[in-house]
Amino acid sequence: MQVPILKQGSYLIASIQSVLSDSDLVQLRDNLGERVGTYRSRGVIIDVTVLDVIDSFATRTLRAIAHMLKLRGAETVIVGIQPDVAFAMVQLGLTLEGVGTALDLEEGLLYLDTKTKRAAVNGN
């Protein structure tokens, strides 16, 4: 199932709706890479609240997305990782290093606000 990507100001919100196959994830990566360029977005939120399992491929893809978007000039934040999922991921050594995380969508927006503001200040 495809992941809808919503535009909200200068941010993109990818809200995952159901369990994703590996090809869905690859598709999400490609779509995001493209849209960030189209909309000149400065931040991307990926909402994984509905996911009960985040496996190694998903983790690797999410990390790849974050690093790729960074090169395209956008910050990425993963929001809504469930407590059980979080601990299971850590048990498996999947810790999403270098990727921003936040509790929920609202927090993710705040995170991007501070991040992009700081980047703007540093840039000047």
Positions in the binding site for other proteins (CB under 8 A): 78-79, 81-87, 89-91, 95-96, 101-104, 107-108, 111
Task: Tell me the CA end-to-end span of the chain in Å, nearest whole number.
Answer: 42
Q: What Å distances lie between residue 38 and 12, 41, 48, CA to CA?
A: 11, 8, 24
Q: Closest CB to other proteins among 25 and 78? A: 78
Instruction: Report the distance separating Cα 6 and Cα 97, nearest Å.
Output: 25
Q: How far is the CB of 95 from other proteins (least distance, A)?
A: 5
Q: How far is the CB of 1 from other proteins (least distance, A)?
A: 24
Q: Closest CB to other proteins among 1 and 92? A: 92
Q: Using an 8 Å Cβ cutoff, are 46 and 16 in contact? A: yes
Q: Closest CB to other proteins among 27 and 82? A: 82
Q: How far is the CB of 87 from other proteins (least distance, A)?
A: 5
Q: Which residues pair with 38 in a beta bridge?
A: none
